[in-house]
Amino acid sequence: MADKDFLSRVKSFVKYQPLMVLHHFFLPMVYGPALLHFRHGKGDYIIGCAITMQATIPFISLRHILLQVEMRHTTLYIVNGLLLAVSFSIARIYIWFHLVHTYAVYRDLPFIDGFLALPTICSCCTIGFFILNSIWFVKILLLVKRSSKEILNLLKLSKSS
């Protein structure tokens, strides 16, 4: 019975939030490959890293869906939050260090010199995106912490009653 209720809520979400579904599911599946195709092999590494950053989308989408179908106090929500935090730390935080490191190795420079050797627009964008993603990462960690505390409190209440 609960599975049927969950499926009907998911179907309702897809029906009433088609742009959200389009953006968080179909766009990365179509836009990324099309972008790689039309670039004719130029900048594939950078585009590949940009697509890798989208590895967080399934977890962000599932979180949004779980909130919409009122499943915030479930184990699935907590596990998804943890997976979101891990994937975000790799795909949206670490990747910037990886990009600069790769460029520094390509130019045969130490890491800091590699960063300083980037064109100014690239340095500014790197710093900007890193700061933005760091802010989001802190918010994600705080959400995971809050959700975990809420679940633990619910478990304690259910044990005591």
Mean local confidence (pLDDT), 38-58:
80
pLDDT in the model for residue 161: 64
pLDDT in the model for residue 64: 87
pTM for the structure as a whole? 0.71
If you write DSSP's letter for every residue of the chain in order, what string do you get?
Answer: -HHHHHHHHHHHHHHH-HHHHIIIIIHHHHHHHHHHHHTTTTTHHHHHHHHHGGGGHHHHHHHHHHHHTT-TTSHHHHHHHHHHHHHHIIIIIIHHHHHHHHHHHHTT--HHHHHHHS-HHHHHHHHHHHHHHHHHHHHHHHHHHHHHHHHHHHHHHHHH-
Least confident of 2-16, 61-75, 81-95, 138-152: 2-16
Share of the chain above pLDDT 90, in %: 35
